[in-house]
Chains A and B, each alone.
Chain A
Amino acid sequence: MISRRAWLATLSAGLASTVASVRPAASAVGVPPSTNRRNFPNVTLLTHENRHVRFYDDLVKGKIVLFNFFYTRCEGICIPTTANLRKVQDLLGDRVGRDMFMYSISLKPHEDRPRDLKEYHDAYDVKPGWTFLTGSKANCELLRRRLGFADVDPVRDRDVTQHSGLLVFGNEPLDSWTACPAMATPTEIAKAVSWVDWR
């Protein structure tokens, strides 16, 4: 077992691949926290591998998860954001795919089909544990609202060029959630993720 400080130290030393998981992914979970039903509707989505998944059951339950919203043809913040999160994935090391999971959900599900997501995924050389998601417009929009990516101002909210660049993340069994800008430095993001890690 490795302490969290030691884990952070390895992050900064770039030795993340040596990091052991603090807890197994399938940790025992009691009564689901209240947040789940309200904010994590169990809608069906499609992955970049063209798999059908249930949002809560398959993607969130029992896991540490990181969410952001994007679309493949975005010529604005999505390009640097995805590149930045790719560095975050490296820092988190093999925790990603084991008990930590990254999800990028499409803001334009009608034009982002699984093959578009796969192409995008491959272009950034994304490693396992980070899934790109699309689905029906209604389902993606529902998630965007429930996960805190809608703007309180309806006019600004309709302007997709001003879309949210936040990274919402948390630990589902601990019901511990927070957010930070996805363009924060990879080290700061990894540090913040450690604050919702198993305790």
Chain B
Amino acid sequence: MVTRRDMLRMGLIGAAGALSPGIARRALAAGGAASTTNGVGVSPFATQPFVEPLPIMPVKIPVATGPGCENSLAPGTLAGPFIEHAPFEGERTPFGTYHQKYSRFPPQNAYELHQKEAKQKFHPAIPPTTVWGFDGIFPGPTFKARYGSPNLVRFYNELPADHVGFGIPSVTTHLHNAHTASESDGNPANFFGPGTCWDSHYPNVLAGFSTDPLGIGDPTETLGTLWYHDHRQDFTAQNVYAGLEGFYLLYDDLDCDDETNPNGLRLPSGKYDVPLMFSDKVFGRDGNLVYDFFSLDGILGDKMCVNGKVQPYMNVERRKYRFRLLNGGPSRVYAFGLSDGSPMYEIANDGNLLPMPVARGVITNPLLPDLNDYIVTGVAERHDIIIDFSRYGPNTRVYLVNQADQINGAQPTGKIAKTATPLLQFRVGQAPAVPDQSVIPDAASLAAIGRTTMRDLPPIDLTQVVQNRSWQFSRLNGGWVINGLIFDATVVRAAVQRDTREIWTLRGGAGWWHPVHIHFEEHQILSRNGVPFALPYEGRKDVALLRGGETVECFFRFRDWLGKYPMHCHNVVHEDHAMMIRWDMVDPNAWPSV
């Protein structure tokens, strides 16, 4: 007989008797009154916009720092990572878990993160909403991590085992675009159940460290704006929609979180560096979220939330701000702009600093307005922008708006919406008490620190390419497939040799847009639809947005770690029904001593 504790540890059962009469039902979706057509939800609430301030997520505080910090973590029933979670042995930790290169990157910061259910107010007109959040908040707390300072994060699944409604109390957390080993990647198949926990080791190290003679890695591959979110196989859309997502910011000596540091890029920092998570939701009459299980092409919400509030406002000073825009899903594509059509300066795409800032959000040809003049953002894409509010007078109101026209969850129409949807109201106040010392980097500001770019793009040497792979993202009998194949977590569709370069060609199909995300390693776009070009605002990307039948050719450098990773469509509804493949990083020479 397997004990109940054993079963909990394995994530196999929840509390018995959950369905007995008289026990409160834990329905995330018991609203009832909301309706959907074609995946487009309608909430039975009129929500006056801009009545509540934009929430700022708390910065996550470690429980301990310095050598041995991980010993301060509250013990729990660890569900992994164990040997079976990756095709290698790794190094055994004192907790009995296994991590690659653990002793080379000993944790300097130990964190506890709790997936749990809580109530949250999205708008005064909407009754309190049950969410699943990291530490019980949506979005979860913001990590501020630093290169050279590895983190160990222990995730405690405290979701209700007797849960009823959408969402499954079984989780795995992906740190999106982090250069981490497979066992800390939040692989869809590495899920764990209520009452158990999982250790993820985030070394915060530059890609290429294992082949760099100095052991440092390639500074041109520095990452910046990452996010973490649930990745449970077949239930990612439901669990992310329930609220399991948050930001993870990574800093180094240049992007140093201090605009007064004369040796850094002097990007707006501290309270002027603001992560913004955009998500569209549907609420039922009781205030709970409504999830449309049966719209398998994608779902749209009618309430536009920023950091967990419906259309909030933000008081801003007359100075520069950095905003980190993230499309938190589930399916909508945004085209961000300012209501007055003035420029926003994009400094990073998918969290990676560009060589130079690029002005965005301005119609380039008034006779032929193009959706791409705005910041088109598929699910999971990030765009870091700087807005300089000093150009506005005190008490000005300006709005961050969505200009994309979209009528179903499969794709936007590709047109500019007749009426832009305001997402966030900026209320411009006075000049800051302390003069703004931040800059929108330009040639002069960069020259002052001996640079010509914010970050160079890594040079591409096509002679190093050892493999070309082609991936077709398409529809097959109502499901979503890659190269005609259905996701199978046990089947490896590509075995990538460690420390090699490859070109992957991603092909879409008419009728759908697919934001394709390749775990582990961001790419550089070599060509789009056969035309070699790179847009100045497309540097290193970890999501390739396939708009209809587009073909995008991507250059990859696969380095350092071994194990399994997925590639999938990040329209999370497509991902769950089964637009995903497993690829493995392999190295026969290194087996099994990694």
Contacts and interface: CB of A to CB of B under 8 A. Distances in A.
B4 to A, nearest CB: 9
Contact of A30 (B21, B410, B490): B21
Interface stretch (A49-57, A95-103, A129-137, A176-184): A176-184
Contacts of B284: 34
Contacts of A163: 477-478
Given A35-B29, A199-B18, A6 B294 contact: no
Contacts, number: 141
A4 B478 contact: no
Contacts of B486: 180-181, 183-184
A119 interface: no
Interface of B: 2, 6-7, 10, 12-14, 18-21, 23, 25, 27, 29-32, 35, 38-39, 161-166, 168-170, 234-235, 238, 284, 290, 293-297, 408-410, 476-479, 481, 486, 488-490, 511, 576-578
Contacts of A20: none
Contacts of A185: 488
Given A152-B297, A152-B408, A3 B478 contact: no
Contacts of A29: 19
Chain B binding surface SS class: loop
A186 to B, nearest CB: 12
Contacts of A38: 35
9 contacts: A4-B12, A30-B23, A31-B25, A33-B27, A151-B297, A152-B410, A177-B293, A184-B486, A185-B488
Contacts of A180: 234, 479, 486, 577-578
Chain A binding surface SS class: loop
Nearest to A36: B32
A38 B29 CA distance: 13
Contacts of B31: 34
A181 B578 contact: yes
Contacts of B168: 176, 195
Given A176-B166, A181-B577, A165 B477 contact: yes
B39 to A, nearest CB: 8
A39 interface: yes
A34 B490 CA distance: 35
Contacts of A198: 19
B477 A168 contact: no
A166 B296 contact: yes
Nearest to A185: B488
Contact of A195 (B27, B39, B234, B297): B234
